Copies of this chain bind each other. A is one copy, B any other.
């Protein structure tokens, strides 16, 4: 595996395809033995045609990656689009059809107004039962936060602590969109969006792209002496409408995807050294701790209070800054998580480095949890 990523942020005057090309260039620069002609197919995640009035983007991204006439698969699973692309690519290599492929993720969002983006994002929720009734994502995750607070006593301060932690990490990440620290007081006093979620409980609207080069374990030996292996890939779906779910305090799709990934890897939650989880809202990170079994059910708030998920904690989470501080160009997010964990496992994460990290997990959620993809990476010997 090799990986590249564009800057995340407000990248004005550039098309998604141009931003993707940045990520592709870094991926090839980091793996000089891989030639563009070695790449036999592209699997790319992108959420919405609305941003650039542009669908059919697989061939566009293939062309801008310099991959001539390769099969180009675009996958869409809302904010988990590139998590799905990665899952499909792993199976494509596993089938023997292709030896080396590229996985991409891209979104260009910031040229649209916040109102437009909110509406476009809402297409990832259910039209008849959610969009039609005016529910947007801050509202959906506010429902989840309220349910979690009600049942487990999770507090607004605990939510704010997630933001503080992730901004502390993001301030160390040269690719991050909002690379600055925030204080607990700033987070708690920020503007209310949907109770109990305030401005600093919400992730960012960003532009960005990531690109991964995947090959079979055998072929990896040709290309590198320091391979990173994807040892677990799990995915699940759930009802899109929140109203149909028995429980709003967690995501069944996350739990099932995690179980499938752990089983495939033959690993347990305690084997994970570092993780990127899908903190589209701060409550989503607390729920992810529980769904990924990094702590027990209802104990997510305590985990953040204890500092266990800080860079130097017991199980560092979102060392990149996460969606909250690094940014959330939705289609790019899943592949971007893998980029970050790849660099951690190679010991190249700079000031974000978790010492001795050998096993990493990436958790990519779509919408309000109707899709989840979990991947587990290990440093090769």
**A69 to B127, Cβ gap below 8 A?**
no
Contact with B along A67-105 (1 / 0, CB 8 A): 001111111111000001001101111111100000000
Complex partner residue of A71 from B50, B54, B124, B236, CB under 8 angstroms: B236
Q: How far is the CA of A35 from the CA of B314 in the complex (A)?
A: 45
Contact B123 A53 (CB under 8 A): yes
Instruction: Give residues 222-259 of A contacting B (CB, 8 Å).
Output: 235-240, 252-253, 256
| CB neighbours of A48 from chain B (8 A) | 49, 55
By beta carbon, the residue of chain B nearest A95 is B94
A52 within 8 Å of B by Cβ?
A: yes
Q: A54 contacts which chain B residues (CB < 8 A)?
A: 123, 126-127, 131
Q: What copy number does this chain have within its complex?
A: 2
Q: Is residue A47 within 8 Å, beta carbon to beta carbon, of the partner chain?
A: yes
* Residue A334 at the chain B interface, CB threshold 8 Å: no
Q: Is A128 engaged at the interface, CB distance under 8 Å to the other chain?
A: yes
In contact, A15 and B73 (Cβ under 8 angstroms):
no
Q: Is residue A371 within 8 Å, beta carbon to beta carbon, of the partner chain?
A: yes
Whether A59 touches B371, Cβ cut-off 8 Å, given contacts A74-B75, A127-B52, is: yes
Contact of B237 with A72 in the complex, beta carbons under 8 Å: yes
Query: Are A123 and B371 in contact, CB atoms less than 8 angstroms apart?
Result: no
Q: A47 contacts which chain B residues (CB < 8 A)?
A: 55
Q: Does A154 contact B (CB under 8 A)?
A: no
Give the distance in Å from the alpha carbon of A90 to the alpha carbon of B49 in the complex.
26
B237 touches A71 (CB 8 A): yes
Q: A56 at the A/B interface (Cβ < 8 Å)?
A: yes
Q: A81 to B168: give the CA distance in the assembly, Å.
A: 42
Given contacts A49-B48, A73-B75, A77-B74, contact A56 B367 (CB under 8 A): yes
Residue of B nearest to A128 (CB): B15
Question: Complex formed: what's the CA distance from A123 to B57 in Å?
Answer: 9
Does A361 make an interface contact (CB < 8 A)? Answer: no
Q: Closest 4 A-B residue pairs measured CB to CB? A: A94-B95, A59-B370, A71-B235, A59-B237
Chain A interface (Cβ < 8 Å from any Cβ of B)? 15, 42, 47-50, 52-60, 62-63, 69-78, 84, 87-88, 90-97, 123-128, 131, 235-240, 252-253, 256, 366-367, 370-371
* Given contact pairs A56-B77, A59-B370, a sample of 12 additional A-B residue pairs in the complex whose CB atoms are under 8 Å apart: A48-B55, A49-B123, A54-B126, A54-B131, A56-B370, A58-B77, A59-B238, A60-B370, A63-B237, A88-B88, A88-B92, A94-B95
